[in-house]
Structure 1
Amino acid sequence: MNLAMDKAALEAFLARDFPQVGDDFVLEEVTPMVVRVRMPVAERHLRPGGTVSGPSMFALADVSIYLAILAMIGPKALAVTTNCSIDFMRKPAADRDLICDARLLKLGRVLAVGDAMIFSDGLEGAVARAGLTYSIPPT
Structure 2
Amino acid sequence: MAVKMSAQELMDFMAREFPQVKNDFIVEDVRDMGVTVRMPVADRHLRPGGTVSGPSMFGLADCSIYFAVLAMIGPKGLAVTTNCSLDFMRKPEAGRDLIAECKLLKLGRVLAVGDVLIYSEGKPEPVARATMTYSIPPN
Please indicate the TM-score interval, normalised by the length of the shorter structure: over 0.9
Q: Structure 1 stretches of 5 or more lacking a match?
A: none
2: CA distance, partners of 1:125 / 1:33: 22
CA RMSD of aligned residues (A): 0.6
1: CA distance, partners of 2:102 / 2:124: 17
Partner of 2:66, secondary structure, is helix
Displaced runs of 4+ in structure 1, greater than 3 A? none
Partner of 1:2, secondary structure, is coil
Read off the aligned partner of 1:63 and give its amino acid letter: C
- What TM-score, normalized to structure 1? 0.98
Partner residue in 2 for 1:9: 9
1: CA distance, partners of 2:126 / 2:55: 17
The offset of 1:124, in angstroms, is 2.1
Aligned residues: 139
2: CA distance, partners of 1:12 / 1:124: 30
1:49-68 → structure 2 map (5 Å cutoff): 49-68=49-68
2: CA distance, partners of 1:8 / 1:55: 25
1:1-139 → structure 2 map (5 Å cutoff): 1-139=1-139
Q: Structure 2 stretches of 5 or more lacking a match?
A: none
